[in-house]
Amino acid sequence: MDFLAQVSTEWPEWTFSAYLMKDIMREFLSQRHLLDGIAKSEGLRGFYYDWENGYEKYLGCKKSVDNEKTEEYGKIKFHVLNLGKIGNKNASSEWNYDLNNLDESIAKRKDKFKNKEEKLIASENKEKYLRILLNSDEKGEIEPNIEEGDIQIAIPGGIIGYHAFYVIVENIIRNSAKHSYTKMKELLKEWAELKLYLNSSMKNKDKECKNREKFDKAKEILNIKNEEECKKKIEKLKGKYKSEGNNKLRKDLSEKEQILKRTFGKEFYKMQDLEIMIEFTDDPLKPDEMWLFRIYDNVSKINGKRLPGKGQKRFRAFPEGTPEGEVSPEKDLVAYMNWCLRHSVIKETGELDKRHWGMAEMKIAAGYLQGREIQDIGAEGDKITGSLENQNADKEDFIIRAVESPIGTLGFEFKVRKPREVGIVCYKEGR
């Protein structure tokens, strides 16, 4: 409530220096009720974060009562990478990437920074790397580097201002869960139906179903408890698929499987998680004044749906004057999100533009973190996202923009101020 009051009235001109991991993220990840409830209706709960205790503690409190089956949820996991300058080492070259050479997953993205040259001394049976500030996995094999890798950022209004950063993160979680994670769950259900139907039509079922775990998991996904229910389900599927032919269905099954593998890995048929990657580097335009952040997920797949021609860039936008009826996320998700961001919050009539509230919230929060004037945040077009010539963010300023991430999913880039600290040196003793 304090943040809402502050952001809707007079914005503070002073800033508070806070650590990203030790202060801002730690406070956010300790909000168990928020992380458990923000996407519960989409089948997601928060991952357990406690840097002093293991993941087993969380599993212990989630056990069922009276031998009832525990409700299964995917987990919301966070990863943080520092791609800026640490000492005399710089990884800014990894910030820019080629869309023709994307990483397969968040796991593959992190693997790039597990190198011998940047390996640090870790606790027993763990590994620790310079640029991996947070790595979320059940085994806890990667120790967070919040000593050497953590950074300070300038937050307007002190602790209350942390919520501007949280607004951006929470909107990304909600959008990813509602629009992408649920689509992947539906795709998984379609895969399970095809797996069940095609296996039932084979003469040698055991030979066709080489991976029994996949077939059994397909039944579990479809909530089939016994063979009688399995037969009934197959009869229903015959009416749905019989006219299409098995060869076509096998091709369809293979395509769905490839999409799911690219999103969740080889064991895509198990309960899957929503993963959020937070990366940052020194702002290419103002490296001494700003940090440049990029946040993306593992499920909002672009799948090659890009505008033609100059659209083959990670930052894209529909051409000026494109009729609203021709603007859609199906044509280009990145360009569509930038179209939403490039609208002014206020219409020419003075009324609020009530479209795309989430994008408006993110734009206002990013502007707040950057100490922008109200009229700057209320502007349109290139003043919000920058121009298409500014692919590497080194030519002009911007507030926030949508991009295609290093793993081919939807991401957002925005800037946050660096603190300006003053040191006082006394040359005379006693003073």
* Amino acid 67: pLDDT: 47
The angle at the Cα of 77, spanning 72 to 83, to the nearest 5 degrees, equals 165
What is the pTM assigned to this prediction? 0.87
157: left (phi over 0), alpha (psi -120 to 50) or beta: left
Q: How would you class 185 by CB atoms within 10 Å of its CB: exposed for 0-12, middle for 13-18, buried for 19 or more?
A: middle
For CA atoms 237, 242, 243, 248, give the dihedral sign. Answer: positive
Distance (Å, whole) CA 48 – CA 75: 9
- Residues 6 or more apart from 94 whose CB is under 8 A from it? 83, 112, 113
Is the Cβ–Cβ distance between 401 and 386 less than 8 Å? yes
* Amino acid 216: pLDDT: 81
* Amino acid 6: pLDDT: 65
DSSP of 80-142, one letter per residue? EEE-SEETTEE-GGGTS--GGG--SSHHHHHHTT--GGGEE--STT-BEESSEEE---TT--B
125: left (phi over 0), alpha (psi -120 to 50) or beta: left
* Amino acid 68: pLDDT: 47
The angle at the Cα of 238, spanning 233 to 240, to the nearest 5 degrees, equals 95
Helix (H, G, I), strand (E, B) or coil at 305: coil
Helix (H, G, I), strand (E, B) or coil at 266: coil
Distance (Å, whole) CA 153 – CA 199: 56
* Amino acid 69: pLDDT: 47
Query: 104-111: which pairs have CB atoms within 8 A and are 24 or more residues apart?
Result: 104/262, 104/407, 105/262, 105/263, 105/265, 105/298, 105/407, 106/79, 106/275, 106/277, 106/298, 106/407, 107/265, 108/407, 109/81, 109/277, 109/406, 109/407, 110/79, 110/81, 110/135
Q: Where are the beta strands (DSSP E) in 235-313?
A: 274-282, 290-301
Domain ranges within the chain, ordered by starting residue: 2-179+272-302+358-372+389-417, 181-264
Is the Cβ–Cβ distance between 315 and 390 less than 8 Å? yes
φ/ψ of 175, rounded to 5, equals -65, -40
Instruction: Name the stretches of the chain with pLDDT < 70.
Output: 1-9, 50-71, 201-212, 309-311, 430-431
* Amino acid 306: pLDDT: 83
